[in-house]
Amino acid sequence: MEIAHVNCPFCQEDLEVEQPKNYAPVFHFCTQCNKRFIVERAVKGFTVLTEQDAPCCSNPECRDLEMADD
């Protein structure tokens, strides 16, 4: 795991979140406003997205459904 320094996309609170070393997106909750958001590794740094603005490949729940073996 790696510590990422990001801002909540809802209230702009500065946060430290744990991210895997791979490029998989992860949900996190803001400690200030308690809203859920997504952090994803980018080529340089990290991308922070709301669930509403995230494409399916950046939403962990949608990604799991799309990539599931049937």
Domain that holds residue 39: 2-67
Q: Which has the closest alpha carbon to 50: 10, 16, 15?
A: 10
Mean pLDDT of 21-40: 96
| pLDDT score for 46 | 95
Question: Is the pLDDT higher at 63 or at 29?
Answer: 29
Domains identified in the chain, total number = 1
Does residue 64 register a pLDDT over 80?
no
| pLDDT score for 68 | 66
| pLDDT score for 69 | 54
Alpha carbons 8 and 6: distance in angstroms, whole number: 7
- Say if residue 8 is exposed, middle or buried (CB neighbours under 10 Å; 0-12, 13-18, 19+): buried
Alpha carbons 45 and 23: distance in angstroms, whole number: 11
Does residue 70 register a pLDDT over 60?
no
Alpha carbons 16 and 26: distance in angstroms, whole number: 13
Alpha carbons 67 and 1: distance in angstroms, whole number: 23
| pLDDT score for 47 | 96
